[in-house]
Amino acid sequence: MEDLCDNLLDDILYRLPLKSVVTCKCISKRFNTFISDPGFESKLFLHNSCIFHCTKDSPNFYFKVPLYPPNSDKATESSVKLPRRFKVLAYCSGLLLLLPTEGVLVLNPVTKRHQIINIFHYDAIGLAVEPISSSLHRYKVVRIGARDGDSYQFDIFSSDTMSWRRSSTKFTCMVMSNFNNDALPIYSHGTLHWIRKCNDILAFDIEKEEARIIELPLNFPLPFEYWTSWFGVVNGLLTLISTSSKEILVWILNDYKNVEWVLKTRITYIINSEWSIRIPIFYDGERLVLYLRNVNAGENGEFCMYDIATDKWRKIGMVWAILDNIRAFVPFVPSLAEIKTTTWPDVSTRVVQILHKLSLLLGGGVTLKKDVLQLKWAEPNLYSKIHERRCGEA
């Protein structure tokens, strides 16, 4: 094993589920050094990134479309069917914030580390994650509640103390509004951001515990609707996208402090004009992915990817009719970092089974074939077979 070249070792490790890659650190000192290298880790996580979606119906279907499918330029959909509703509330740095039947749940689906947090009524909620080291992350959950109809109150759960506390910040707005639950909160600049239904952004600085309103671009098509708009962070900048039958517009918040939006990209070459609904679900500054479907909910749709540099579209997968445009599509990049947890009494067997299924789906190893889930684990002697084949070719 020690005589494997780096390129061959890359090939082997990329075929394994992420948790198995971690286990490979124990093989030898060389494997531990190779896998622990930050450059390899970032490539590994990017290689396993995906678009993640949950249907609104119960039981839920959770779907995953890989952004870097192995040995193909066509994405392969994977899914699991869950017996109870686990709504995705937020995501950040490889962690998911989920809504089971009791409290909320912070989960790293790769390592299966999770924490159930008791919570009372909230108007909005968000998840912020910061690295303590390469192997350990701290997180905070922020709950927003309306107070007396004219201000917002913030409560913060910290993994450092494993408890809630009320912030002294009480933020009064000229216009009180509900939150747009179809646009998941975004963490950037040490701040959580929520889209409000009055078409602006409520921002809350986690460390300073200061809140403010960020207005949307003056020429952004209103209202912000999930099936025509996208909100996220790209290269450290807050980003907004709007789609229409004629063009796709991308804005970036170029000056965060002074709130200066810039129209970064205008795409006028629109693929497949016959599709009536074009939902932007992923953007990284280089690629844009649209979910294309018609109004008829019984028809299948398509995933199409646009390459900014080449100005070309390509189809990357079919979309089952069971998918809907109610829940947000989550751009998920896995992480191997551990999180602090405490024991939660009486976690049901069913919840544990659900977490296991989500771990298989997002950690690698599950594919769907004719409604049957099959686990694809790498063979123990996979490395030797590849090595023999390549040596024979040489």
> What is the domain extent for residue 228?
49-363
Spatial distance between the Cα atoms of 307 and 98, rounded to a whole number of angstroms: 32
Q: Is residue 310, in this structure, part of any structural domain at all?
A: yes
Q: Is residue 378, in this structure, part of any structural domain at all?
A: no
Q: Can you tell me whether residue 23 is helix, strand or coil?
A: helix
Closest CA to 185 of 203, 207, 211: 203
User: How many CA atoms lie less than 13 Å away from 364 in the CB half-sphere?
Assistant: 27
Q: Is residue 7, in this structure, part of any structural domain at all?
A: no
Q: What is the pLDDT of residue 364?
A: 56
Q: Is residue 300, in this structure, part of any structural domain at all?
A: yes
CB 252 within 8 A of CB 275: no
Q: Is residue 20, in this structure, part of any structural domain at all?
A: no
- Mean pLDDT per block of 10 residues along the chain (394 residues) reads 74 76 82 80 79 71 75 62 77 90 84 86 93 82 84 94 94 88 91 95 96 95 88 95 91 96 92 78 91 74 88 82 67 82 70 82 50 28 37 40
Side chain identity, residue 393: E
Q: Is residue 276, in this structure, part of any structural domain at all?
A: yes
Q: Is residue 124, in this structure, part of any structural domain at all?
A: yes
Q: What is the pLDDT of residue 382?
A: 34
DSSP 162: T
Q: What is the pLDDT of residue 167?
A: 95
Closest CA to 67 of 323, 322, 282: 282
Q: How many domains does the chain have?
A: 1
Relative to beta strand 136-147, strand 338-339 is parallel
355: domain CATH number? Answer: 2.120.10.80
Q: Is residue 216, in this structure, part of any structural domain at all?
A: yes
Q: What is the pLDDT of residue 166?
A: 94
CB 50 within 8 A of CB 67: yes
Q: What is the pLDDT of residue 65?
A: 80
Q: What is the pLDDT of residue 59?
A: 56
What is the pTM for the complete model shown?
A: 0.83
